[in-house]
């Protein structure tokens, strides 16, 4: 069964229609890749899925339950279930790595620090930062900071992880360590929707890939279909340019 479903989602910024009838589903434990040119609406999809933009039409369902975007309680619940990590990791510079990971579960969710702490330490070990928990963000590389941001997202125990170009701001030599972290999450069965320009990575990690252009899903299929045998001219153009 699909864990996350976007069913005919349309969305706009004011009069500018940016999503036009989007259908995407992500199964439990599945990784779906989202690719397409800049401005095609990839980040906007993730914005809808974190309740930051209300769709004009269509339905988002999580675990089969439709989200009513007019109900703040349902948006809060959506945010509990889907965590997002951005290109800009936005860590608190005045807090340690461990404190950065613990702050949302303790301050926003009101959980006890003594319960959250072992979980945060476990997640930081998982992203390869066990020895950095007491460091401050400015003592870490960009790749390490981005891995803290991923641990921070995971510490909210989301059912679904949304990743928006998480390696785009990193120096090239730091990209692979973050991709390795994400690969580990996929192997652990995390349900993920990943926007990335790292085409080799998207191809390798995704069960299915959606190619978007102009606010529409042009083509959705296996990585082999999208990258080797695209059915649509538009997809062919895009993958031809970037591979």
Tell me whether residue 36 or residue 58 sits nearer to ligand ADP (CB atom): 36
Contact 18, 213 (CB under 8 A): no
Q: Which residues within the stretch 149-208 sit at the binding site for ligand ADP (CB under 6 A)?
A: none
Q: What is the 3-state secondary structure (H, E, C) of 174-242?
A: HHHHHHHHHHHHHHCCCEEEEECCCHHHHHHHCCEEEEEECCEEEEEECHHHHHHCCCCHHHHHHHHHH
Binding status of residue 51 toward ligand ADP by CB under 6 A: no
Q: Among 36-44, 60-68, 107-115, 180-188, which window interacts with ligand ADP (CB under 6 A)?
A: 36-44
Q: Of 18, 24, 91, 102, which lies in the binding site for ligand ADP, with binding defined by CB under 6 A?
A: 18
- Regarding beta strands 31-35 and 208-213, do their DSSP bridges make them parallel or antiparallel, or are they unpaired? parallel
Tell me whether residue 148 or residue 213 sits nearer to ligand ADP (CB atom): 213
Tell me whether residue 35 or residue 98 sits nearer to ligand ADP (CB atom): 35
Half-sphere exposure of 100 (CA within 13 A, CB side): 29
**What does the per-residue mask of binding to ligand ADP show for 73-102, with x meaning CB under 6 A?**
------------------------------
Q: Among 13-21, 76-84, 144-152, 197-205, which window interacts with ligand ADP (CB under 6 A)?
A: 13-21
How many other C-beta atoms can be found within 10 angstroms of the C-beta atom of residue 105?
21
Binding status of residue 15 toward ligand ADP by CB under 6 A: no
Rounded distance, CA 215 to CA 134, Å? 43
Q: Among 11-19, 55-63, 105-113, 149-157, which window interacts with ligand ADP (CB under 6 A)?
A: 11-19
Q: How far is the CB of 211 from ligand ADP (least distance, A)?
A: 11
Half-sphere exposure of 238 (CA within 13 A, CB side): 23
Dmax over CA atoms of the chain, in Å, equals 55
Tell me whether residue 49 or residue 98 sits nearer to ligand ADP (CB atom): 49
Rounded distance, CA 86 to CA 67, Å? 23
Tell me whether residue 20 or residue 177 sits nearer to ligand ADP (CB atom): 20
Rounded distance, CA 88 to CA 180, Å? 19
Q: How far is the CB of 136 from Mg ion (least distance, A)?
A: 29
Beta-carbon contacts of 223 under 8 Å, excluding residues fewer than 6 positions away, are 33, 202, 203, 204, 206, 208, 209
Q: Which residues within the stretch 114-133 sit at the binding site for ligand ADP (CB under 6 A)?
A: none
166 DSSP assignment: T
Binding status of residue 39 toward ligand ADP by CB under 6 A: yes
Q: How far is the CB of 75 from ligand ADP (least distance, A)?
A: 18
Residue ranges binding ligand ADP (CB under 6 A): 13, 16, 18, 36, 38-44
């Amino acid at each position: 069964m699909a864990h996350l479903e976007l069913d005919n989602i349309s969305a706009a910024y004011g009069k500018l229609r940016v999503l036009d009838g989007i259908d995407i589903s992500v199964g439990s434990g599945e990784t779906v890749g989202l690719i397409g040119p800049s401005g095609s609406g990839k980040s906007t999809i993730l914005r809808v899925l974190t309740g930051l933009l209300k769709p004009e039409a269509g339905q988002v369902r999580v675990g089969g339950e439709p989200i009513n975007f007019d109900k703040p309680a349902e948006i809060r619940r959506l945010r509990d279930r889907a965590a997002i990590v951005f290109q800009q990791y936005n860590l608190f510079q005045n807090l340690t790595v461990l404190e950065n990971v613990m702050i949302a579960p303790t301050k926003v969710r009101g959980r006890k620090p003594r319960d959250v702490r072992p979980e945060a330490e476990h997640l930081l070990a998982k992203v390869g930062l066990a020895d950095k928990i007491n460091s401050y963000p400015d003592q870490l590389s960009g790749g390490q900071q981005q891995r803290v941001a991923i641990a921070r997202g995971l510490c909210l125990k989301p059912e679904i992880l949304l990743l928006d170009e998480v390696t785009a701001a990193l120096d090239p030599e730091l990209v692979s360590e973050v991709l390795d972290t994400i690969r580990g999450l996929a192997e652990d069965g995390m349900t993920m929707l990943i926007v990335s320009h790292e085409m080799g990575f998207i191809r390798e990690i995704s069960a299915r890939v959606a190619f978007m252009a102009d606010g529409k899903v042009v083509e959705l299929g296996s990585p082999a279909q999208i990258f080797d045998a695209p059915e649509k001219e538009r997809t062919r153009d895009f993958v031809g340019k970037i591979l």
